[in-house]
């Protein structure tokens, strides 16, 4: 079984139902039935084959959210080829690495982005490919594929070096979609509002694949616009919404009455891709009447852990393991740690990727036997809830004590005047390392008050030694803080330009 078998439950089984609405940047809405989407995908598969795409080939897509993205994704899978989405915020240097590494048989890009690939690879404008698909026949024989065949290659964000291509099989993505649809009770009656970029695993493997597996109606927006958020929610009246913490923070700025009305017709808000501050969880529940469901996953593993749909959604935690997922938390000696003690999270299951594309060394380093090393630090409560403490590479050792940045960041966001925060370890001649806080503030911020707040709830060695005020924190397209882009010397921080151009959230 491969992904087309799963998707046909909706593409064929609900062919007369409206499956997709797309809202462009100028707020024009177009709609297609599942049957129309299937026919478009079959034509796209024929167009790709005519251009020489064969099973196992990579098809790279440098495309914003839109119907064309869906067409190329489904058409690629129908050919038995491997869909390789590329972050549309990437520029020439990042693109050249991915193109050289993935070695795509075909690269598809929007008309305004063709020059980005100059000298790297042959690139076809998506409007030309769409015209070729429109003229193609609807017939397209299915390709016989084993479930372990690669379906998608997702390039990691590359926070510690060059990005690597995580190879996700059809079985990986099938497992993930089945878990989401089951655990979060997604049905054809849902109305899913999709605001996340589809080039990311969150928007694609979680959002698009769960939509197609469940047969619900999806409204896809080209880009999340916080100024239009109220109108978007009230016009579409979704029941299901996947977001990242930055999006939920934006939604908290909505008028209280608007928030109440949105909450009345919503069934489920889900947050992921970055830690959700407990204060945001509490504020959102008060204003919208919903406890956000926080979960945890990675590009390499898809969804691993989730707070329950029915049960306690515990703030500050990501819940417990999803069906078929095994979790260990180990110390530096590789042995399981005691309940409540922090350690690195290891995972295994049919959701875990096959390895990094053409990178045996990185694949070997990422696994401990059958267990994938996530690189994340976490701890498990006696009743199975997992709390993330940050990346293993971000661990601060101060005077022999382990300090986890996430714990300090959550406390900082409770302090008056702090709107955003990131904590890093910086060298110290006495303690080895000390925590330094990079904070985005408003007029209420007073450093001594923030320090006093931390001192009331944290051990002395966890209190930031320095507060560095910045205009904003560097984030990727999904809102995850890119700590490696923060200035290494706090004295230079005031010169730091924090926001990447084109940030979608």
Which two three-digit tokens encode residue 81?
């080829």
Average confidence (pLDDT) over 352-365: 96
pLDDT tens digits for 366-422? 999 999 999 999 999 999 999 998 888 788 878 767 788 888 998 999 999 999 999
d(CA 284, CA 252): 7
Return the top range by mean pLDDT from 161-170, 301-310, 451-460, 487-496: 301-310
Look at residue 221 and tell me whether its pLDDT is greater than 80. Answer: yes
d(CA 224, CA 232): 9
d(CA 189, CA 266): 12
Q: What is the reported pLDDT for 54?
A: 96
pTM (predicted TM-score): 0.85
CA-wise closest residue to 273 among 301, 252, 296: 296
Look at residue 449 and tell me whether its pLDDT is greater than 80. Answer: yes
Q: Look at the block and give the residue holding tokens 């003690």.
A: 341
User: Which residues contact residue 165 at a Cβ distance below 8 angstroms, ignoring those fewer than 6 apart?
Assistant: 84, 98, 101, 102, 153, 154, 155, 156, 356, 357, 358, 359
Average confidence (pLDDT) over 176-191: 98
pLDDT tens digits for 98-118? 999 999 999 999 988 998 898
CA-wise closest residue to 224 among 65, 89, 87: 65
* Secondary structure letter of residue 481 according to DSSP: B
* Secondary structure letter of residue 27 according to DSSP: -
Give the dihedral sign, CA 389/390/395/397: negative
Which two three-digit tokens encode residue 16?
């007369």
Tell me how crowded residue 144 is: count the other CB atoms within 10 A of its CB.
Answer: 9
Q: What is the reported pLDDT for 488?
A: 63
β-strands 293-298, 191-194 pairing: unpaired
Asked if 378 contacts 407 with a C-beta cutoff of 8 angstroms, the reply is: no
Give the dihedral sign, CA 481/484/490/496: negative
Band of pLDDT at residue 333, cut at 50, 70 and 90: very high
d(CA 330, CA 324): 20
pLDDT tens digits for 169-182? 999 999 999 999 99
Q: Could you tell me if residue 350 is left (phi over 0), alpha (psi between -120 and 50 degrees) or otherwise beta?
A: alpha
Look at residue 362 and tell me whether its pLDDT is greater than 50. Answer: yes
Least confident of 208-212, 217-221, 378-382, 494-498: 494-498
Give the dihedral sign, CA 447/451/454/459: positive
Residue with the larger pLDDT of the pair 193 and 487:
193
In the three-class reduction of DSSP (H, G, I as helix; E, B as strand; rest coil), residue 48 is classed as: helix
β-strands 367-368, 371-380 pairing: antiparallel
């Amino acid at each position: 079984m491969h992904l087309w078998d799963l998707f046909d439950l909706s593409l064929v089984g609900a062919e007369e139902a409206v499956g997709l609405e797309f809202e462009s940047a100028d707020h024009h809405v177009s709609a297609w039935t599942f049957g129309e989407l299937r026919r478009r995908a079959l034509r796209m598969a024929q167009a790709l084959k005519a251009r020489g795409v064969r099973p196992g080939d990579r098809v790279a897509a440098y495309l914003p959210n839109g119907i064309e993205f869906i067409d190329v994704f489904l058409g690629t899978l129908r050919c038995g080829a491997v869909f390789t989405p590329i972050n549309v915020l990437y520029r020439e240097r990042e693109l050249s690495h991915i193109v050289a590494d993935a070695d795509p048989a075909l690269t598809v890009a929007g008309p305004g982005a063709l020059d980005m690939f100059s000298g790297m690879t042959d690139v076809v404008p998506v409007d030309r490919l769409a015209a070729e698909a429109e003229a193609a026949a609807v017939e397209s024989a299915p390709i016989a594929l084993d479930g372990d065949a690669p379906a998608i290659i997702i390039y990691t964000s590359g926070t510690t070096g060059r990005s690597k291509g995580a190879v996700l099989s059809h079985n990986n993505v099938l497992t993930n979609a089945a878990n989401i649809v089951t655990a979060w009770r997604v049905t054809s009656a849902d109305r899913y509002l999709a605001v996340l970029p589809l080039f990311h695993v969150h928007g694609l493997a979680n959002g698009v694949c769960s939509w197609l597996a469940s047969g619900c109606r999806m409204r896809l927006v080209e880009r999340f616009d916080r100024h239009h958020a109220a109108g978007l929610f009230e016009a579409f009246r979704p029941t299901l919404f996947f977001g990242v913490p930055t999006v939920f923070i934006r939604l908290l700025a909505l008028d209280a009455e608007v928030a109440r009305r949105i909450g009345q017709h919503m069934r489920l808000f889900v947050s992921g891709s970055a830690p959700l501050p407990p204060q945001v969880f509490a504020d959102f529940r008060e204003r919208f009447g919903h406890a956000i469901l926080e979960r945890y996953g990675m590009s390499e593993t898809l969804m691993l852990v989730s707070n329950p749909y029915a049960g306690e959604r515990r703030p500050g935690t990501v819940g417990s393991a999803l069906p078929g997922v095994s979790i260990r938390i180990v110390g530096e000696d590789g042995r399981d740690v005691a309940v409540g003690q922090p350690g690195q999270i290891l995972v295994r299951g049919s959701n875990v990727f096959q390895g990094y594309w053409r990178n045996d060394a990185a694949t070997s380093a990422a696994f401990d036997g059958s267990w994938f090393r996530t690189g994340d630090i976490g701890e498990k409560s006696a009743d199975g809830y997992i709390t993330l403490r940050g990346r293993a590479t971000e661990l601060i050792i101060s005077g022999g004590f382990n300090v986890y940045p996430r714990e300090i960041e959550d406390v900082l966001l409770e302090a008056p005047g702090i709107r955003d925060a990131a904590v890093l370890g910086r060298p110290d001649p006495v303690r080895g390392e000390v925590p330094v806080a990079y904070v985005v503030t408003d007029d209420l911020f007073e450093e001594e008050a923030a320090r006093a707040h931390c001192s009331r709830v944290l051990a002395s060695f966890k209190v930031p030694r320095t507060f560095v005020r910045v205009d904003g924190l560097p984030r990727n397209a999904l809102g995850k803080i890119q700590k490696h882009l923060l200035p290494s010397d706090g004295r230079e921080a005031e010169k730091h330009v924090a926001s990447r151009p084109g940030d979608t959230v």
